[in-house]
Amino acid sequence: MHIQLKEIHKFYGPVHANQGINLTVDSGTIHGILGENGAGKSTLMKILSGYIQKSGGEILLDGRPVEFRNPAMASRMGIGMLYQDPLDFPPLTVLENFMLGQVHGTRLSARDWANKLKELAEHFDFHLDPEAPLAALTVGERQQLELLRLLSLGARLLILDEPTTGISPVQKEVLFQALRKLAREGRTVLMVSHKIEDVEALCNRVTILRQGRVTGEMEAPFDPETILAHMFGTPPSPPPKCAKEAGDQVLAFREVSAEGGRAGLNECTVSFQRGQVVGLAGLEGSGQGVFLRLAAGLQKPLTGTVLLDGQDMRGADHHEFKRRGVTFLPTARLEEGLIPGLSITEHFALAACRQTFLVPWLDALKVARTRVEHFKIRGTPETSVEGLSGGNQQRLLLSLIPPSPKVLLLEQPTRGLDVESAHWMWQHLLNLCDQGTTILFSPAELDEILMVADRVLVFFNGRIVLDVTAEEADPDRIGSAIAGRVSDE
């Protein structure tokens, strides 16, 4: 499918999110859309997929002007969009989710649908169990399922919004192979991303947006420096790492075993000092997610104990952990972190958690104003979370961290942030560590660990198989440990 966007404009009230965007994408190609947080990328893709209406401009598919009033119309014309946060139904099974929206003249039985799903999954080397509950799937698998659903609906243009955010490197490679195959088969792929390495690995051509306008277009092979310059003006530099003395022990696990993820956690004994920044590496589901939830008191150990400041936390719930200074930030920001429908101010009112009869709205508004400014959130205290771009939702989540937590547990803290914002955010987090906060984080990328961590733990199959300082953290050694190969150096 050949796509042409001419002079696309979009206003959200006074916000001019797309300001006359022109874009041409050829059939059978993979086209990248890059840009800083709030540049207008998702807005443009939502217009193209019929999710929102443009304020002006023209869309041509295979040379013919089209108007979409809703996603169903766009879908009928062969456009499918995979959103940053999967739009599926966790209470349903894989097969039931696959069948959603599939309208056919003839009635197919559940077995026919299961066969169809199996066939498509095999074609792309995806491993999905039709009977499994969706809630048991990783983000990467949910994404694979949605991709198959869109294809079975007849999508000829696939739009992917930050598809590699929140998935493991292995799943990323499986996804990339599938997208290359789709392009070879003549389908068109549009991929929104912040990650230059993903664009380099996959795209034939890239368009860069900044503040609602196109600032550059280029063909592969790409020059990363030029891309960064188009995205930000001055290329951003990483936050400086500073050496510090290990403080007292704050958090410890003693022979903790628990269920969850693919492998659970098996007899884990480890401790952490005040002010440490610890990166938790491993394939998705290897134990690091369960580990963080146990450390937050969101999940209880089957055996063993978690100690906070030397005190046994058996029987304590998440609120008790919170009272003692433990803060947890989850990956699924719109499912576990933020509350869709509530404004920024309402989030701060909730976070204040006062047991008073009247909600202190003025205080919440004051905090919201300061944090919006300090965290450079593109929005106002009245903006609801859905009105924020993905990166700005992540900034809001980070701005909800209390002033000086004792232990900060972060799942993919820079998810959806552009590199400049990610560096800025880490600077903020490292300042907290200088004041004594201990940070444990599990990022999507190993590079992020290497950039900021003092210590690296690698999880494999529910166990910590490597525990090294930043100086000992050689990427090859970590990579091997992630894959379950550990040498005794």
CB of 14 to ligand ATP, least distance (A): 9
Give the integer Cα–Cα distance in Å for 177 and 143. 14
Provide the pairing of β-strand 56-61 with 64-66.
Answer: antiparallel
Closest distance of CB 6 from ligand ATP, Å: 19
Say how many CA atoms lie within 13 Å of 331 toward its Cβ.
Answer: 21
Q: Between 409 and 448, how does the x/- string for binding to ligand ATP read (CB under 6 A)?
A: -------x--------------------------------
Q: Is 3 in the site for ligand ATP (CB under 6 A)?
A: no
Least Å distance between CB 198 and ligand ATP?
Answer: 14
Minimum CB distance to ligand ATP, residue 417 (Å): 8
Binders of ligand ATP in range 369-388 (CB under 6 A)? 378-379, 386-388
Cβ-based nearer residue to ligand ATP, 71 or 261: 71
For ligand ATP, the binding residues in 6-45 under the rule CB under 6 A are 12, 15, 17, 35, 37-43
In the complex, minimum distance from the CB of residue 74 to ligand ATP, in angstroms, rounded to a whole number: 17
484 binds ligand ATP (CB under 6 A): no
Nearer to ligand ATP, 380 or 404 (CB): 380
Q: How far is the CB of 109 from ligand ATP (least distance, A)?
A: 40
Burial class (CB in 10 A: 0-12, 13-18, 19+), 79: buried
Q: Is 389 in the site for ligand ATP (CB under 6 A)?
A: yes
Least distance (Å) between residue 340 CB and ligand ATP: 11
Q: Is 55 left (phi over 0), alpha (psi -120 to 50) or beta?
A: alpha
Q: Which residue has the tokens 């894989």?
A: 94
For residues 361 and 382, give the distance between their C-alpha atoms in angstroms, rounded to a whole number.
12
Total binding residues toward ligand ATP, as defined by CB under 6 A: 21
Q: How distant, in Å, are the alpha carbons of 62, 116, 193, 322, 411 from that of 399?
A: 45, 45, 23, 16, 15
> CA 422 to CA 298: how far, in whole Å?
27
Binding mask 297-336 for ligand ATP (x = CB under 6 A): ----------------------------------------
- For residue 447 the two structure tokens come to 């590079």
Q: Which residue lies nearest ligand ATP, judged by its C-beta?
A: 391
Hey, which residues does 434 pair with through a beta bridge?
Answer: none
In the chain, the amino acid numbered 73 is: M
Contact between 391 and ligand ATP by CB under 6 A: the answer reads yes
In contact, 13 and 38? CB cutoff 8 Å? no
Name the strand (E) or helix (H) holding 210: strand 205-210
Q: Which of 440, 444, 375 is nearest to 416 (CA)?
A: 444
- Contact flag: residue 49 with ligand ATP (CB under 6 A): no
Binding site for ligand ATP (CB under 6 A): 12, 15, 17, 35, 37-43, 378-379, 386-392, 416
